Chain A
């Protein structure tokens, strides 16, 4: 038991305090959900009401039937999956090499990778427009996924390095004695041991791409547009359609929230490890 744990009567007060804090903290999103079930006219009523007068799915149907919304949702999923795969394929061998060979260049590399996380997004995004054009992948999901990978790769390398660090070298050595090559040892012995870490890294790469906005805004116009960009355009194009906006926003958030609740232990591991180490 943690010695900072409070016992006795003041515990009740603390639980109460926690309940109030959580209620305040959760209110904005709950209000968003409730609004998404209101009639469009009730969403902008003065004074505003918390609960819908009439519950309706109309906002969801209207949002989904808007031009470009369904393709944007598909683009978001495809881009995030592609970017996650790229990030893992590049990060796993890099992190493995860094932790196993322990060369000075490896240390420089991991530090450099960390520094790339501190670059203002606009300073990479703007010139990437030209790079994507030169590669012939302007406004494609692949191009956008590459851009998103520049964000998730440094963190992925850092996370994977921490997980590999926790696996003793002896395990690789034993595999080599049994006749495995380095790569076989990595694939058959080490990777299964760090499967939890692999999951953490994948979740973070996915979330980074799913929520990213500036690259998506700069690098896509029609074909590869993702949902955050559509959500942002919503307000300029349709003025005060708060019902539709809240429905789309809810639709975009709820799957990842559910996924997160399901995988919460992994997320906490990644956040604390990612933060403390990288």
Chain B
């Protein structure tokens, strides 16, 4: 245990402490001069419109991704269960996006959604849903870009939710379902009153894991829009990255990052201890 602990201390805890420490300084990126400024960076972060709107965007993005994935993931998991063992091969096929790098997925979806020659609009046009192939400006209309950049994330990881829920559904005792059926429960009723409550721990885990990953999304958005148009897809990770590297304000970026870090940890610790309780069934 000691080597692993030393490793994590050196390459996770120590960098994190440095990061938090930096947030109390005004740092010149070149030359390395630094001045202690106390909580000024925090004040500047909280007062900046860029930071508050990026926070809101991060929450919206996370909600879109997790809701869409959960709904689609549960539907497909139920479909797989309904089809029984013979769906095994299809489950494997369904899994493949999990292996694709987020950068590749972002690039791919940018290509599918691009304004003038994107295949998605072309298909929607041919089916007759939209009246011209460039009617929906997926990634260049600031009003919808945040939803559009979420598509690859949803595409990439719905299968994760499906697999986890499928595994959970396999573990529900058959008698419970038979009993409900004898009592005359129909499928929607059974889903809401029996399946979802029994799956609660599995659902909690899936939502926490995905929620945290979605809130950290970086590559998938960077490659599609680089935060644009007009900043409409600049989530916290992107804003902090940009504040640090392009605007050259590491101190301010660290303060923003520390707020983000604390918020994530608070949410995560509450979620983990209250809902998930990992290891509580052990020892």
Q: A116-B12, A130-B18 are in contact. Are A48 and B117 (CB under 8 A)?
A: yes
A90-B7, A118-B264, A126-B244 as given contacts; A272 in contact with B163, CB under 8 Å:
yes
User: Which listed residue (A98, A120, A153, A271) contacts B1, Cβ 8 A?
Assistant: A98
Judged by a CB distance under 8 angstroms, whether B205 is at the interface is yes
| Stretch from A52-60, A174-182, A183-191, A208-216 at the B interface | A208-216
Instruction: For A98, list chain B residues within 8 Å (CB).
Output: 1
Task: Please state if A260 and B261 are interface contacts (CB–CB under 8 Å).
Answer: no
B1-40: CB near A (< 8 Å → 1, else 0) gives 1011101101110111011001000000000000000000
Q: Interface on chain B toward A: helix, strand, loop, or mixed SS?
A: helix
Q: Is the CB of A277 within 8 A of B119?
A: no
**In the complex, chain A residues whose CB is within 8 Å of the CB of B96:** 26, 29, 257, 260-261
B87 touches A18 (CB 8 A): yes
B273's closest neighbor in chain A, by CB?
A: A111
B207 smallest CB distance to A (angstroms): 11
In the bound complex, residues from chain B placing their C-beta under 8 Å from that of A90 are: 3-4, 7
Chain B proximity mask over A99-125: 1 for CB below 8 Å, otherwise 0: 000100111011111111111111110
Q: Which of A239-278 contact B (CB under 8 A)?
A: 242, 245-246, 249, 252-253, 256-257, 259-261, 264, 267-268, 271-272, 275-278
Complex alpha-carbon distance, A205 and B258, angstroms: 27
A171 to chain B, nearest CB (A): 18
Indicate if B100 sits at the interface (CB-CB under 8 A). Answer: yes
* A1-24 with Cβ < 8 A to chain B: 1-6, 11, 14-15, 17-18, 21-22
Contact of A110 among B163, B269, B279 (CB under 8 A): B279
> For the complex, what is the distance from the CA of A46 to the CA of B116, rounded to whole Å?
7
Question: Within 8 Å of chain A (Cβ to Cβ): is B92?
Answer: yes
Q: Once the chains bind, are B87 and A210 in contact (CB under 8 Å)? A: no
Q: Indicate if B160 sits at the interface (CB-CB under 8 A).
A: yes
In the bound assembly, the distance between CA atoms of A11 and B118 in angstroms comes to 35
CB distance A28 to B112 under 8 Å? Answer: yes
Q: Taking each of B8, B83, B250, B265, which has the highest tally of chain A beta carbons within 10 Å of its own beta carbon?
A: B8
Task: Give Cα A38 to B100, complex, Å.
Answer: 21
Interface size, chain A (Cβ < 8 Å): 95
Expressed in whole angstroms, the minimum distance between the Cβ of A163 and any Cβ of chain B is: 13
Q: Which residues of B contact A (CB under 8 A)?
A: 1, 3-5, 7-8, 10-12, 14-16, 18-19, 22, 76, 78-84, 87, 90-104, 107-109, 111-112, 116-119, 122, 133, 155, 158, 160, 163-164, 167-170, 174, 177-178, 181, 202, 205-206, 209, 212, 215-216, 218-219, 222-223, 236-237, 240-241, 244, 250, 253-254, 257-258, 260-261, 264-265, 268-269, 272, 278-279, 282-283
Which A positions have Cβ atoms within 8 angstroms of B? 1-6, 11, 14-15, 17-18, 21-22, 25-26, 28-29, 31-32, 35, 44-48, 50, 89-91, 93-94, 97-98, 102, 105-107, 109-124, 126-128, 130-131, 146-147, 149-150, 153-154, 157, 165, 207, 210-211, 213-214, 228, 231-232, 235, 242, 245-246, 249, 252-253, 256-257, 259-261, 264, 267-268, 271-272, 275-278
